Amino acid sequence: GDSVTQMEGPVTLSEEAFLTINCTYTATGYPSLFWYVQYPGEGLQLLLKATKADDKGSNKGFEATYRKETTSFHLEKGSVQVSDSAVYFCALSDGPDKLIFGTGTRLQVFP
């Protein structure tokens, strides 16, 4: 079945460092890909998405490009802030009814 694999955390960075969180997927069809974020004490929120190959999703300085050839959707940000500390989930959707999530990657940013 479809699945998502994320790099294990925690990822610990200093403020203004470059961030990459790796995500790869397995799917039989042509899924849409998502990054969701969970800030401390809050519910999951959509960060960005891409619906077809070579699409780039972006939001709040974060970017991810849908790479069909490598089945990847890595999350990047050029300069992280303390306020970016959260758990990040990669997910895919092959239909309207369900998302399949990775296990999540905790990001800790220190001043």
Q: Does 53 bind other proteins (CB under 8 A)?
A: no
Q: Does 40 bind other proteins (CB under 8 A)?
A: no
Q: Which of 29, 40, 41, 111 binds other proteins (CB under 8 A)?
A: 41
* Residue pair 23/9 in contact by the 8 Å Cβ criterion: no
Q: Does 1 bind other proteins (CB under 8 A)?
A: no
Q: How far is the CB of 90 from other proteins (least distance, A)?
A: 8
Measured from the CB atom, is 9 or 17 closer to other proteins? Answer: 9
* Burial tier of 8 (Cβ tally within 10 Å: 0-12, 13-18, 19+): exposed
Report the alpha-carbon angle 92-61-47, nearest 5. 30
* Residue pair 102/87 in contact by the 8 Å Cβ criterion: no
C-alpha 32/C-alpha 52 separation (Å) is 6
Measured from the CB atom, is 32 or 85 closer to other proteins? Answer: 32
* Residue pair 101/6 in contact by the 8 Å Cβ criterion: no
Q: How far is the CB of 14 from other proteins (least distance, A)?
A: 26
Binding site for other proteins (CB under 8 A): 4, 32, 36, 41-46, 49, 51, 89, 91, 93, 96-104
